[in-house]
Structure 1
Amino acid sequence: MLSQKISRRAAMLGGGAILAWSASPASAFLQKAAATMGRATRASIDELIKRMTLEEKAGQLTLMASAWGGGIATALNPPTENQGFPKQIEDAVQGKLTGVFNGNGAAMALQMQRAVMSRSRMKIPLIFAADVIHGHRTIFPVGVGEAASFEPSLAERTARVAAFEAAGSGIDWTFAPMVDISRDQRWGRTMEGSGEDVILGMIFAAARVKGFQGRSLADDDCLLATIKHFAAYGAAESGLDYNPVDLSERTLREVYLRPYKAGIDAGAATVMSSFNEISGIPANGNHWLQTEVLRGEWGFKGFIVSDYTGDEEMIVAGYAADRRDAARIAFLAGVDMSMQSGVYAEHLPGLVRDGLVPEAKVDESVRRVLAAKSAVGLFDDPFRRIDLQREKARSRLPNAIALARESAQKSIVMVKNEGNLLPLSPSAKIALIGPMVRSGADINGPWVVYGDNAQAVDLPAGIREAVKGKGSVTVTQGSGIDQPLNGGIAAAVAAARKADVVLLAVGESERMSGEAQSRTDITIPPAQQELAEAVARTGKPIVVILRNGRALALKGAIKNAPAILVTWFLGSESGHATADILFGKVGPSGRLPISFPHESGQQPYYYAHKATGRANPPGPPQEYKTHFRETLNEALYPFGHGLTYGVVVYGSLALSTPRMGWDDKLTISTTLTNRGKRAATEVAQLYIHDRVASITRPVREMRAFQKVDLAPGESKTVRFVLSRRDLEFVGVNNRWIAEPGAFDVWIAPSAQAEGARGSFVLAAA
């Protein structure tokens, strides 16, 4: 087994590598001043490219998983043999790799980089990447949970801390943020993005890019951000991971492409292509998508990397004949860098020599990659982010833990609170029941490579700390995630009978959400449902604490509980943050970024659906109208829904004018009043509906939102401003247009609430 210790000699060799680098031809070329590429000019990069062999060029376009993985990455990408890491170092020295991902921190990076900088012919620094999705060592809520905060500045701050920690461990580049619109909750990767709404997705995409990339990519606390997965991965048929996507170009442009564009406009340096096909063409081989739209229309200047073996997978999909053909198709489509499959290293040189791929196009891709390496300062100092002492010094600092608690608090959504059961008194006798009471498990959530559940504050610890010296807490698991426990229900019922209130902690495990975790039935597993029904029969008041990475169809005793908190996977400070909400130390302020359906069979369900010509009017189902046999075509808990400990009342809607000029702006306002006895944070949401258009429009579309803090008895006026551009849609020629006519408008607390409602007319030009 390879030693994972860094000796004093190794550290000295690292210093020797720096000296070797400073004297190398690459250093001389790339330490010329430039305004557009950091210290490396285009001319100096071109000089390097001229000196490279075809094999070395292909190596700069080849990224592999680290043979010495870090944390959970060891299980995800285990070395194939004991000599895996030494062999990988030799590949890097020979110019066969541009870098590796998900490695074992600064120790791994130091060994690889010093070998390349001291022994390789070109001495081009490696780049180190990782899946830093919702935190590095300090873990923040999963993406969809953080989006529930409706606070993009929070996402920017958590991404900033994640970058600070990750860059301290030798990482230059993160495969985040994921910005796919998720409108089918069967899809496991819902947890990674920002939900179903376009505007929310766009705003959070930009915020996370800015957080990861910071003020300057060359700073040693910043990472290259990656917008993924390009494109429309969240629209996979049946919510089945890796499945095809079949969309009209209009829907693609109007809904799915916009968050990617927002992230790129915010400066994202890289883009990752997606696994899915769109209308029969795999994304990795889609020239229109990768080159004509991304580069041509949007002007993207960074590089595109395939997802893990995504290019090679075109073979099984029936789009490429073999590995050589897959390399040719993906590269000519516009994918600059191949991840993990090795098809570029294996076949690009031969494809160039056979005249099937222009060498000038290979040079352009290499140029983009080298420019990115220059932008993050690797040509100035290949060891910029590799520092063993800094790695430890930056990990889980007090300000990071405090931010983890704040972000977790703001991510929790209270969807139900009958009889003001919450907040609880800390002097109550509490029975904490359910499989989510287990310590060290299912707390951080999916897609955590470097975090440790053992370091996360679990639910029992958080609640016990909150009631210390006042009430009492008994903890009973009651059931497993998927399986009953012998005697578990009996023990849970006994605990419930002795308590004043039951906290029922149920939901999904980390392995039930995330990549490759599609579900046909998005309900609570039967073993947990049976536990809930038994506990409910005791007659004790129940607060359901859901742990989940997607919207769920709630049933029976869980659905009927008087109080329900949606807590997602909250990360490092999960237990503290949940207790803060339960006992009123902090009021709930989160809102749902995804719609909770009545039934699994409603999927895909999203609030911005079309009315159809036979919409069911308000009230019970009517014959031959749009509804299922079992339920109406609406949500149990809609997008934007969330309660506070205050009582917020919306006043009437005020418009600056009932007739908006073509080139004018319209101000829409209402007054919010907190008539409760506790402070409240309200999320006022602006929705529109175009009544008649050349393309039928959704029943509602959110255009903006504001978070408003209200003291008891306080009133505040919220104002939104609309322009003609906010009323545009993709027309019959797939171009953005606005049309004069009547519009409904709401300022409301959710996509199904009336709130303050009115209408206006957009006048013709």
Structure 2
Amino acid sequence: MNNKKVWVILLVIIATTQIIVAQNSDNAKNKIELLLKKMTLEEKVGQLNLATYVNENNTTNSFNESIKNGEIGGILKSNGAKTNYELQKMAVEQSRLGIPILFQEDVIHGYRTIFPTPLGESASWNLENIEKSASIAAKEAAAGGIHLTYAPMVDITNDPRWGRIVEGAGEDPYYGSLVSAARVKGFQGKDLTSGESVMACVKHFAGYGAVLAGRDYNISDFSERTLREIYLPPFKAAIDAGVGSVMTAYSTFDGIPATANQKLLKTILREELGFKGMLITDWSTINNLVKIGVAADQKEAVLMAIDAGVDVDMTSGLYLKYLKVLVEEGKVNVSVIDQAVRRVLHAKQQLGLFDNPYKFFDVDREKETLLNPKHLEFARKSARESMVLLKNNNSILPLNSNVKKIAVIGPMATRKKDMFSWWGGDYSQGKPEDVVSLLEGLKKTASPNVTIEYAEGIKLDGFEPKGLELIPEAVALASQSDLVILALGEEYWMSGEAGSISNINLPGAQEELVKAISKTGKPIVTVLFNGRPFDLQLVEKHSEAILEAWFPGTMAGLAVSDVLWGAYNPSGKLTISFPRNTGQIPIFYNYKRTSHDINEGVKPSRWTNMYLDIPTTPLYPFGYGLSYTKFEYSNMELSTNAINKEDSIQITVEVSNTGKVFGEEVVQLYVGDDVSSISRPLKELKGFKKIGLNPGEKQKISFTLNPTDFSFYNKDMQWVLESGSFTIMIGASSQDIKFSKKLAVH
């Protein structure tokens, strides 16, 4: 067959495929339109009502009757293939139109197999693994009868007082956008009708991470520039990745609550970002419009939300109560409700629920899928890759054969539920009995000639110091040991939604424990289990090594042990800056230049330091993380020193492993705009590569920068690329810049 015939056949196949896709799309639209014509106004409003189901005892007659009457379009907090099958059967077989229910849940970082928290997982800088963990979480959730998850949360934040920092990917919008897209792809997979994927709901639109003083549900105050530069990019990435739904924020933009903000939801989300899917409120946020004083009563709040384009009312029941009344009063056009219903029905159609409403409810599959051994093994891999080695004096880690007796001290060493985080602990199907604790992990993986003994040291039960009387026993054990592994952190409930704190000191009497153990003179290796940055100045002072383990999930103890014993060389890098103390908050790497910044080679003074008592730099910066080996950077080159505005440029650098073991390095590329028409950050992350090198191995790394990487919003809020000079930087962290070169853009 000649090439011409091959091309003809290919063109015919492509044309036929396009026709079939178009026909399927038209058929899907026709089915929705036919269904819409059959629906009463009450049934339409019912599709916009997302009801709460807490447990089987909550299945009252009134709840069941609401399902049969078509008054419930979605249910959240209902889990299990058997339970949801019975509820679905009621909706499909006992309601007038048989419209299936959309079951929804907070599957944040795992369903039954719990992975590291999103902030921790982001520190792996491994987008492939991040996508895979979301895929496994989706597979388990789907097996548990769930259709949609309220994830990913993509709110950028730089305030560790905010409990929900644990749920995001850190402080950088570029990296946060990549993580956002990876998690959407992982949750949704390639086929939402497979029964093994779930629809993602990206949240919280938009700017929720800007709540003042790190206090959840608090007011926020940020400019449109900040909205566009910092908060919108991860949402755009999720939408470009095909996310099926978006959740509104509790907070406000420009003084208008997100749930009633027409500029935010209609102009920016729908028109500019091109989002076509289902828009859901957060928990009872329509009612919050009354609480914060922008609506006189609940009916007015409903009018504001539906006018802003909100499709689904989560839990408040106010759409059910007032939408029909507002239509009858002529304040809401039925066409507005029809459009919202179309989006809800389309979501159900995307999941294949009209073709097979029971696909997700297979009890045998549920048993086979949850805690599958392959899932557990990947959870262990994911957890150890998320860990960040913050300090390692004298290469004390990995632990060597000279260490014969180890004292494991600290309240977090035996905790199980506290390995989950708030979302994994109370809002997933994860169970404490599934977890491998640190002490268990160390004992399972230790050599036979190593003795491991444990002392709690103090009690960690809330924020107040407790259990100080236990310190002498811990000190005695430490004194008799070669080395101390100190397990510190926070309880699972201390981070997460409504998990804000006023200072970032370690809770309880943990600092008193650190001081007491340090007096023994024994080397201390501190392992941290937490969902946010803490003030680690005291820990840093008294520890030979510090491993940030985050909330590692189900396989916590084994993953930490892999790192401590050297079975895995830590490769994590921080995606959030660690302040020296609470007073530095907010602190972040992509700070805009000020009139009193410290210039290179200039000694800090009263006029440049900007704090009299501490440096302005973080204790550990964005992008920072150590390894058991050493990496050397050399030969940074630009493909050209000058480009036109429509051109791209290639940047190369060589990286060598000069140590004795295999290691992985995250090579980071930053760009700074030297002179611009508005104030710009000193540096912004624009690329990274995670590479693995054997001892003595060298690799040439290549980056490509496109015109958009040099562009920004000008004074008129237009996306532009200005001519001028740019600084291209390559380094091992945002502070550890190895090379920089100038580039002219004409």
CA distance, structure 2, for counterparts of residue 133 and residue 660 of structure 1: 43
Determine if the alignment matches structure 1 residue 762 to structure 2 residue 745. yes
The Cα shift of 1:423 comes to 0.3
The code of the aligned residue for 1:715 comes to K
Range 142-151 or range 548-557, more displaced: 548-557
CA distance, structure 1, for counterparts of residue 574 and residue 55 of structure 2: 39
CA distance, structure 2, for counterparts of residue 359 and residue 37 of structure 1: 27
Match of 2:237 among 262, 271, 275: 262
Determine if the alignment matches structure 1 residue 330 to structure 2 residue 305. yes
Match of 1:236 among 207, 211, 220: 211
Q: Return the TM-score normalized by structure 2.
A: 0.94
Determine if the alignment matches structure 1 residue 474 to structure 2 residue 453. yes
The Cα shift of 1:695 comes to 1.0
CA distance, structure 2, for counterparts of residue 103 and residue 112 of structure 1: 9
The code of the aligned residue for 1:312 comes to N
CA distance, structure 2, for counterparts of residue 473 and residue 614 of structure 1: 52
The Cα shift of 1:635 comes to 1.1
Match of 2:555 among 563, 566, 573: 573
CA distance, structure 1, for counterparts of residue 128 and residue 157 of structure 2: 22
Q: Identify the residue that residue 450 of structure 1 maps to in structure 2.
A: 429
CA contact (8 A) 1:690 1:742 kept: yes
Q: Identify the residue that residue 585 of structure 1 maps to in structure 2.
A: 567
Q: Identify the residue that residue 11 of structure 1 maps to in structure 2.
A: none
The Cα shift of 1:468 comes to 4.2
The Cα shift of 1:42 comes to 1.5
CA contact (8 A) 1:666 1:721 kept: yes
CA distance, structure 1, for counterparts of residue 175 and residue 294 of structure 2: 35
**1:477-530 C-alpha deviation (Å, 9 max, x unpaired):** 111223321531111101111111111110111111111011111121250000
Secondary structure of the structure 2 residue equivalent to 1:644: coil
The Cα shift of 1:660 comes to 2.0
CA distance, structure 1, for counterparts of residue 226 and residue 257 of structure 2: 18
Identity of aligned residues (%): 41
Secondary structure of the structure 1 residue equivalent to 2:563: helix
The Cα shift of 1:283 comes to 0.3
**1:257-283 C-alpha deviation (Å, 9 max, x unpaired):** 000110010000000001001121000
**1:28-66 C-alpha deviation (Å, 9 max, x unpaired):** xxxxx9758779622221121122121111110010111
Q: Identify the residue that residue 355 of structure 1 maps to in structure 2.
A: 330
Q: Identify the residue that residue 487 of structure 1 maps to in structure 2.
A: 469
Q: Identify the residue that residue 10 of structure 1 maps to in structure 2.
A: none
The Cα shift of 1:555 comes to 2.6
CA distance, structure 2, for counterparts of residue 685 and residue 85 of structure 1: 56
CA distance, structure 2, for counterparts of residue 630 and residue 43 of structure 1: 68
Range 746-755 or range 262-271, more displaced: 746-755
**1:186-221 C-alpha deviation (Å, 9 max, x unpaired):** 111001010001111000100000011011111110
Q: Identify the residue that residue 409 of structure 1 maps to in structure 2.
A: 384
CA contact (8 A) 2:49 2:312 kept: yes
CA distance, structure 1, for counterparts of residue 584 and residue 222 of structure 2: 19
**Cα distance change on mapping 1:129 and 1:40 into 2, 3 Å:** farther
Q: Identify the residue that residue 316 of structure 2 maps to in structure 1.
A: 341
Q: Identify the residue that residue 57 of structure 1 maps to in structure 2.
A: 44
CA contact (8 A) 2:279 2:310 kept: yes
Determine if the alignment matches structure 1 residue 121 to structure 2 residue 100. no
The Cα shift of 1:632 comes to 2.1
Match of 1:387 among 362, 368, 371: 362
The Cα shift of 1:250 comes to 1.1
Secondary structure of the structure 1 residue equivalent to 2:466: coil
Q: Identify the residue that residue 747 of structure 1 maps to in structure 2.
A: 730
CA contact (8 A) 2:578 2:618 kept: yes
Alignment of 1:493-642 (within 5 A): 493-617=475-599, 621-642=604-625
Range 126-135 or range 33-42, more displaced: 33-42
Q: Identify the residue that residue 5 of structure 2 maps to in structure 1.
A: none
Q: Identify the residue that residue 26 of structure 1 maps to in structure 2.
A: none
Match of 2:290 among 306, 315, 338: 315
The code of the aligned residue for 2:453 comes to T
**Cα distance change on mapping 1:39 and 1:164 into 2, 3 Å:** farther
Q: Return the TM-score normalized by structure 1.
A: 0.92
Secondary structure of the structure 2 residue equivalent to 1:532: helix
CA contact (8 A) 2:79 2:145 kept: no
Determine if the alignment matches structure 1 residue 46 to structure 2 residue 33. yes
Alignment of 1:608-687 (within 5 A): 608-617=590-599, 621-687=604-670
Q: Identify the residue that residue 16 of structure 1 maps to in structure 2.
A: none
CA distance, structure 1, for counterparts of residue 469 and residue 590 of structure 2: 46
Secondary structure of the structure 2 residue equivalent to 1:133: coil
Secondary structure of the structure 1 residue equivalent to 2:481: coil
Secondary structure of the structure 2 residue equivalent to 1:677: coil
Q: Identify the residue that residue 95 of structure 1 maps to in structure 2.
A: 70
Secondary structure of the structure 1 residue equivalent to 2:716: coil
**1:284-320 C-alpha deviation (Å, 9 max, x unpaired):** 0001111111111121110100000011101111111
CA distance, structure 1, for counterparts of residue 473 and residue 34 of structure 2: 73
CA contact (8 A) 2:652 2:702 kept: yes
* Structure 2 unaligned residues grouped into runs of 5+: 1-19
Range 685-694 or range 86-95, more displaced: 86-95
Match of 1:246 among 198, 218, 221: 221
Match of 1:430 among 388, 406, 411: 406
Secondary structure of the structure 2 residue equivalent to 1:489: helix
CA distance, structure 2, for counterparts of residue 64 and residue 470 of structure 1: 57
**1:628-647 C-alpha deviation (Å, 9 max, x unpaired):** 22222211110000011111
Alignment of 1:694-705 (within 5 A): 694-705=677-688
**1:132-173 C-alpha deviation (Å, 9 max, x unpaired):** 000001000000000000011111100111111110111111
CA distance, structure 1, for counterparts of residue 594 and residue 138 of structure 2: 46
Alignment of 1:121-270 (within 5 A): 121-270=96-245
CA contact (8 A) 1:68 1:108 kept: no
CA contact (8 A) 1:55 1:349 kept: yes
Secondary structure of the structure 2 residue equivalent to 1:720: strand
**1:671-715 C-alpha deviation (Å, 9 max, x unpaired):** 111111111100000001111100111111000100011111111
**1:542-578 C-alpha deviation (Å, 9 max, x unpaired):** 1110111111121324444121111100101110010
The code of the aligned residue for 1:545 comes to V
For this pair of structures, how many residues does the alignment match? 719
**Cα distance change on mapping 1:148 and 1:270 into 2, 3 Å:** same
Match of 1:108 among 62, 79, 83: 83
The code of the aligned residue for 1:553 comes to D
CA contact (8 A) 1:675 1:713 kept: yes
Runs of 4+ with >6 A deviation: 36-39
CA contact (8 A) 2:524 2:542 kept: no
The code of the aligned residue for 1:572 comes to T
**Cα distance change on mapping 1:433 and 1:563 into 2, 3 Å:** same
**Cα distance change on mapping 1:131 and 1:38 into 2, 3 Å:** farther
The code of the aligned residue for 2:34 comes to E
**Cα distance change on mapping 1:488 and 1:136 into 2, 3 Å:** same
